[in-house]
Structure 1
Amino acid sequence: MYEPIRTKSVHTPAGPAPDFPHRSREEELDIQLAGHLAALLAVTDELRALAPSGELDTAAERLAEQVTRLRGGVPPARAAAAAHGGAPQVAALHRRAHALAGRALVVSASRADTAAAILSAERMDAHAASSAEPREPIAAG
């Protein structure tokens, strides 16, 4: 009913030892973490353009240092963002930055990178505080 296979499978390694996987788990985690931190850096740069602050400048420099370290000395590409938009866009950027910092925290914890985990947690806290809507105090009475 079926014709037998006459050739070797392309999925079977031809050599004595297969060369898979090409990267180790640690290398894959480094790549993921660098990607998350670079994305967080891009959002931080956008926030810096819309609402400049010394805290964001410091955070951007620390993020750039971590990305450079994870990429083996290659600094991240950074573009100057144009300052346009208002409070709704700033709040959306803080929410996005919070989510990116959370992803970076998960990967950094998985690879046991304490410096990146601390930085990610600090950024999560900062963006959570910045994106929280101001509330009026409850009056006792």
Structure 2
Amino acid sequence: MMTTEAMRANTNDGGDGIDPECRCPVCYEWLEAPVTFECNHSICLGCLQQMLDSAYCKGVCPMCRHRVLNFIRRNAKNPAAMVNQPLAARIAQKQAEGARSTILFGVEVTATIYTTGVHTSHARGYLACDISRSPVRIPGAT
């Protein structure tokens, strides 16, 4: 039987559903307003601004240490112009999908959680699994 660590090692998303292309290497969250450097690595615009405000800023990519100061200086007057709009659109699409793929015991499973009921406190949760195609009751859901 595989351990949790082994199962996470089988995925390339860190086990939390975030595609590596969409994860900020600074804050480890979904990229927000992604800025892509000349080396093709991306970080959040907010993380870039915090990095530049830091006394320890070396002006390098946090992934590969490629110098990015010239890129930043060229775009300093309009930081919003640095945002990689196509990547931002892909991230928004992936976040909106709501389905999450994970690998359990070597089998890829895509699961979507559905809720029924008018009020959140009375909602019932169901897990629809692509393998069985039949809803499964989530333990603990009311």
Q: TM-score range by the shorter chain?
A: under 0.3
Using CA pairs below 8 Å that are at least 6 residues apart, which structure has the higher relative contact order? 1
| Higher fraction of strand | 2
* Structure number, greater radius of gyration: 1
**TM-score normalised to structure 1 length:** 0.27
| Higher fraction of helix | 1
**TM-score normalised to structure 2 length:** 0.26
